[in-house]
Structure 1
Amino acid sequence: MRLMRWIDMPPVWLFACLILAWLQASYLTYGLTFGGAWADFLGGILVGGGILLMLLAVVEMRRQHTTIIPHQTPSRLVQSGIFSRSRNPIYLGDILVLAGLILRFDAVLSLPLVPIFVWILERRFIEPEENRMRRTFRQDWARYEGKVRRWV
């Protein structure tokens, strides 16, 4: 059971989606394409933005001395830095990386992986995390949740 908790992590789900997108782009293109340089450029911007969001969030959580592990309750409610703009900047970064690499891979048929990945993140990670934080931080969480949106 302990192994499953470590396997059931957002980077593992992201990696699985990326493998599916790459396989689709490599073997099942059906002649569909995003159309060249603009997709590569936009894909690069999305990947870079996603990585930047993740780094900003990790730095802020480390600065606040709390965990970044999804299945654990943080010791502090981080509301500063990037967390003043999004309650889930790491997950948002994951989504941007997936969307950007789908563009870079030219994996047109893999676009539905983005909303599927969002659904997985919300059901498996975000909702349980928010419930834990709601129980732990009570009024502070209620104020934070009212002030800062889940995504952007």
Structure 2
Amino acid sequence: MKHFPDLPPVWLLLGLVLAWVLATWLPLVRLFGPAWQAAGVLLALAGTGLILWAAWWFWRKRTTIEPHHEPGRLIVEGPYRFSRNPIYLGMLAILTGAVLWHGALSGLPLPFAFAAILTRRFIAPEEAALRRAFGAEAHDYLDRTRRWL
């Protein structure tokens, strides 16, 4: 894994591929029907919209969106009023939507695993970086705003 690009979109892509593989080769039980497939598509579209909205705020504030870089500004507007991690929440919605669309029982653990990976590999270090960079302002924001929803 020395050359694995440790970035959230790569982990999302891996989750989407795993959702397809599990649904195709090891579905265990098909749980969902057309209504769930439609819900999955809508959830994935909403997640995409949330990602775009949150990313626009990075552009607007002229700060980096790269998870392994030091933050230049603390964004507390837009979707960041409701969630500290709207981009990751959008990615989680996309993966959950894909799992619902595929309808296989075997895919249900994937969103939970993805959330755990995001929390450990990205969110916790990013929150520590925010505290270092912005001190009391970051502490206040992190205390009053939920991590996910």
- Same fold (TM > 0.5): yes
Which one of 114, 117, 120 corresponds to residue 120 of structure 1? 117
The aligned amino acid for 1:16 is L
Mapping of 1:94-109 within 5 angstroms?
Answer: 94-109=91-106
Residue 12 (structure 2) aligns with: 14
Residue 83 (structure 1) aligns with: 80
Q: Find the aligned partners of 1:72 and 1:105 in 2 and give their Cα distance.
A: 35
Which one of 66, 70, 74 corresponds to residue 73 of structure 1? 70
Q: Once the 2 structures are TM-superposed, how far is the Cα of residue 55 of structure 1 from its aligned partner?
A: 0.5
Q: Find the aligned partners of 2:2 and 2:112 in 1 and give their Cα distance.
A: 28
Deviations 1:20-52 (A, max 9, x none): 11011111123x112311111110121011101
Q: Is the 8 A contact 1:47 1:101 kept in 2?
A: yes
Deviations 1:83-133 (A, max 9, x none): 111100000001000000011122321111111111100000000000011
Mapping of 1:57-72 within 5 angstroms?
Answer: 57-72=54-69
Q: Find the aligned partners of 1:33 and 1:54 in 2 and give their Cα distance.
A: 29
Using the aligned pairs only, state the percent identity. 42
User: What do you get for the CA RMSD once the two structures are aligned?
Assistant: 1.5
Gaps of 5+ in 1: none
**1:109–1:3 CA distance, 2 compared to 1 (3 A):** closer
Q: Find the aligned partners of 1:8 and 1:63 in 2 and give their Cα distance.
A: 25
TM-score normalized with structure 2 length = 0.95
Q: Once the 2 structures are TM-superposed, how far is the Cα of residue 3 of structure 1 from its aligned partner?
A: 4.9
Q: Is the 8 A contact 2:84 2:147 kept in 1?
A: yes
Q: Once the 2 structures are TM-superposed, how far is the Cα of residue 64 of structure 1 from its aligned partner?
A: 0.5
1:111 paired with 2:124, answer no
Runs of 4+ that moved beyond 2 A: 1-4
Q: Is the 8 A contact 1:22 1:107 kept in 2?
A: no
The aligned amino acid for 2:86 is P
Gaps of 5+ in 2: none
Q: How many residues align?
A: 149
